Amino acid sequence: MQENSRHLRRLFRVWLPQPTYFITTCVAKRRSILASAAVQRVLYEEWKQMDRRHGWAVGRFVVMPDHVHFFVREIPDQKGHTLARAIGSWKEWTAKQILPLTGTSRPLWQAEFFDHVLRSTESMSQKWDYIRNNPVRSGLVSQPDEWPFQGSIHFE
């Protein structure tokens, strides 16, 4: 480790028994195709299966027209996939169903996704407040609860 990256040393000491991750993934070319009841059903059903298929529980989520935000947590004592593989499989299965629904060409998703480990309930609460207000900041609704494309699955 370089001397000038001394501030990163604390990251080697961070260990959480069951971390929650905040995930964001975007539609390729930021096309606005996700905010529909049919697409949300596909996303929701695939998130619902992540515990059984991949060993990851999905918490709260918000589906925006061109990206999604959601929380995931690895299920203890279950031999699941890595987070990258679980999200990759979720993206693959959702794309197979959403592309024909929307008449959109491949790829559906950008290749990468953003993940951030949450270190406290305050952090999760702050992230949730941020993402549930996305539709308000985007001018899609005047109040967060008016946005129909949000919810939770396995945990709050």
Sign of torsion, CA 122 128 134 135? negative
The pTM score is: 0.86
Res. 1 pLDDT band, cuts 50 70 90: very low
For residue range 80-131, list pLDDT tens digits in order: 889 999 999 999 999 999 999 999 999 999 999 999 999 877 788 999 999 9
Structure tokens at 151: 């919810």
pLDDT in tens, 15-28: 566 889 999 999 99
CATH architecture of 17-152: 2-Layer Sandwich (3.30)
Cα 52–Cα 77–Cα 112 angle in degrees, nearest 5: 60
